[in-house]
Amino acid sequence: MLFEEFEVLVKESLSNLFDYAAMETTPLTALFATHSGQSGSKGEFLRKLILESIDTLKPNDKAFDANANEWRTYTILNQRYIENLNSLDVARNLSISERQLRRYQRKAVEALAYRLWDRYQAIYPEARQATPTSDSNIKEFIVNLEEINLWEVVSGVNKLLATTTSEDHVELKTQNNETLWMIESDRIILRQILIGLMNQFFQLLHEFETPNRLLTFSFFRDEEKTTLNIDAPIYIEAGILSNLHTPELKKNLSFWSQEINVQINENHSKEQNKSGLILEFPHPQKKLILVVDDQEPALRMYERYLSRTKLKIVGLTKPSKVVARAKELKPALIVLDIMMPKVDGWEVLQSLKLDEGTRNIPVIVCSAWGEPELATSLGAVGFLKKPVIQRDLLAIIQKLKILDD
C-alpha cells in the first residue's frame, strides 16, 4: 500500500471515529487489529489507536495554549474529530479564517497519518519503500514551517529506527540535552530527511564493515543558525552524499532541503577517521512590530500576547521619538496608544502619516475611548479598544497579513 492510499483511509476513519459500524469495517481495522493479538472489538481497538496517536501530537515541553503554533495540530484534530466541532467554530477558537483552517487541517491529518504510518511500517517493513517521493507528490505536499524542537525530532527518529539499529548493531549517541534547540522547519519533511540520511549511514557502516558502528548526534547554536552534526567513525573520501544509494533519495534530499531551508554539507576527516554531515538551520528573520505606550507593563503585555508568533516586539515609551525610531527600524506594524503625556497618540499618528519615510507603515490605534472613525480618518488601518484582549490583537494582525511571509 502506498502512503497516499493509507492517508485516505486515515481521513475516512477520522470522519467515522465514533461510528461503531464504520470503524469495524474500515480497511485500517484489518491492517492493525489483526496483528494486535487482542480479542475484543477490532473497531474499538482502531479507535483507541487513533486517539492515542492524536495524543502523541501534544508538545511535550509546552503548556497548553490553543492559539500556539506548537499545539495547533493537536488542537485541530481534537476539536474537529473528538469534540466534533464544526469548521467555523474551530476557526473562531483559533482566531484564524476557515481557509487557513482547511490548510492546517490537511497538515494535521497528514501528521496523524505519518504517526500511524510509522506503526504500519513496523508491521509491514516493505512499506518503508512506499513513502511519498514521486514528482506529483512533491508538487502537492504542503510545507508547514513552524517552531519545533530539533532534539525531539532527532530523538523521535532514533526511536522509530530502533529495530533497524538493533539488527545492524549500530549504536546511536545523542549529545547535549533537549532544551534550546528550537528551529523553524516542517516536522514531517525533516523526519523523512533524517530517516533517509540515517539509512544511508547504516548501509555505509555495513558495507565498510567497520567494527565501531556508532552514530553521534551533536547540537550547536549561535546567533545565526542551529546546527546538527551527524558523525560516524569511518573515513569515506568521496563523502556521504556522493554515495547516496538511490537517485530518488538524492533528488528528494535536494528538493526538500531547499523547501525547509536546511543546508546539508559534508564533514569528513582522514586524520580523525570520521565522516559525517552538517545540517544547518538558519534562524528566521522575524518581522518587527513597534509598540508605543508610555506604560512599561503595557509593553510587557504585548510581548506576552505575541510571544508565540514570529514577530519581534520593540517597545517605545517616548512618543516624541516615534517617527525617528520608525525610520530606523522600518517595522511591519506600529501599535500606538493614544493617552500619553505631552504628545498624545493622535499627534504621533499625524506625524507618521505626514512624513514620507513612515507614511506607508500600517498603524493600529489603541484607546479606551471608542474612536475608530477618527483613527481611520487619520490613516490608521485598525482600532483596538482598551483594555486590549489577546484574541482581538491576534485577529487584527492576522487580518492585516502581518504574519504572512
- Higher pLDDT: 26 or 245? It is 26
| Residues 20-52: tens digit of each pLDDT | 888 888 888 877 766 555 556 788 888 999 999
Task: For residues 26 and 14, give the distance between their C-alpha atoms in angstroms, rounded to a whole number.
Answer: 11
Q: Are 45 and 24 in contact (CB under 8 A)?
A: no
**8 Å CB contact between 31 and 10:** no
374 close to 350: Cβ distance less than 8 angstroms: no
In this predicted structure, which of 17-26, 272-281, 321-330, 369-378 has the lowest mean pLDDT?
17-26
What mean pLDDT comes out for the span 72-82?
Answer: 92
Residue-level pLDDT at 124: 63
Q: For the residues 336-359, what does the mean pLDDT come to?
A: 94
Range scoring the smallest mean pLDDT among 153-162, 320-329, 383-392: 153-162
Cα(166)–Cα(164) distance, integer angstroms: 5
Beta strands in 205-353 (DSSP E): 214-221, 225-232, 263-266, 275-282, 287-292, 311-316, 333-337
Mean pLDDT of 251-260: 84
Least confident of 205-214, 369-378, 391-400: 205-214
Highest mean pLDDT among 103-107, 311-315, 318-322: 318-322
The topology under which CATH files domain 146-282 is Heat Shock Protein 90 (3.30.565)
Tell me what pLDDT residue 166 has.
77
C-alpha cell belonging to residue 185: 522547519
Contact between 325 and 338 under an 8 Å Cβ cutoff? The reply is no
Residue 134: its pLDDT value, please?
A: 45
Average pLDDT of the chain is: 84
Compare 322 and 159 and report the one with higher pLDDT.
322
> Residue 263 corresponds to which cell in the numbers above?
543546508
- Return the pLDDT at 139: 46
Is residue 335 within 8 Å of 366, Cβ to Cβ? yes
pLDDT at 95: 85
- If pLDDT is split at 50, 70 and 90, which confidence band does 324 have? very high
Is residue 217 pLDDT above 50, yes or no? yes
Give the pLDDT confidence score for residue 35 in this predicted structure: 57
SS3 content of the chain, % helix, strand, coil (to 5): 50, 15, 35
Q: Residue 105 in contact with residue 97, Cβ under 8 Å?
A: no
Distance from C-alpha of 405 to C-alpha of 392, rounded to nearest angstrom: 21
pLDDT at 126 over 60: no
Q: What is the pLDDT of residues 129-145, one digit of tens each?
A: 444 444 444 444 567 77
pLDDT of 372 > 70? The answer is yes
Domain borders along the chain are 3-131, 146-282, 287-399
Please state, in angstroms and rounded to a whole number, the distance separating the CA atoms of residues 212 and 189.
30
Distance CA 318, CA 342 (A): 10
**pLDDT category, 200, cuts 50, 70, 90?**
confident
Q: Radius of gyration over alpha carbons of the chain, in Å? A: 26
Supply the CATH classification number for the domain 287-399: 3.40.50.2300
Identify which has the larger pLDDT, 281 or 163: 281
**Confidence band for 205, pLDDT divided at 50, 70 and 90:** confident
Contact 216, 173 (CB under 8 A): yes
Could you say which DSSP state residue 34 is in? G
Enter the DSSP assignment of 307.
Answer: T
Q: Any bridge partners for residue 333, and if so which?
A: 289
pTM of the model: 0.48
pLDDT of residue 106: 83
- Beta-bridged to residue 174, according to DSSP, are 217
